[in-house]
Amino acid sequence: MFVSVTLFAQKNPNVKFAVCNDAVGTVNLFNARKAMVQSITPYKAAALPTNLKKYSFLAQNGLTEVKYKNNAGTLDWMTLSGFNTQFQLPENNPVIIEGYEFNDASTKIYSDIIAKAEVKEYNGKKTLFITTFEKY
């Protein structure tokens, strides 16, 4: 049992996370939507600006800050508590995205990053696991 839990929670080193308007996406998501993007600023884990420090657990491979162009609109996002509710899980359950454990259910993620979402056993309770798209 322990081995399977470890395998389920392995961090995917190929995923690079990005934050835009206080919501988590991936660099691939924003690269595919360059017409909306004003700027993309990558940071190393040790050099995160104050506004990104709460996402430091995602910065193993760096973390990118994205800013939209004025009047570009926005992509759809939802809080992790909302996703948990959709899967009939307690709102405050952690969510695993590409092996990274998100413990703050108020965290917003862009819906377009989700390639697959499924409930699995993790640390003795049902937990939502999300896999992202590698390419768009």
Question: pLDDT digit string (tens) for 43-67?
Answer: 999 999 999 999 999 998 899 999 9
What is the pLDDT averaged over residues 64-83? 94
| Count of CB atoms situated within 10 Å of the CB of 25 | 24
Q: Note whether 97 and 109 are within 8 A (CB).
A: yes
Q: What are the residues whose beta carbons fall under 8 Å from the beta carbon of 1, sequence distance 6 or more?
A: none
Range of the domain at 86: 2-132
Report the domain count for the chain. 1
pTM of the model: 0.90
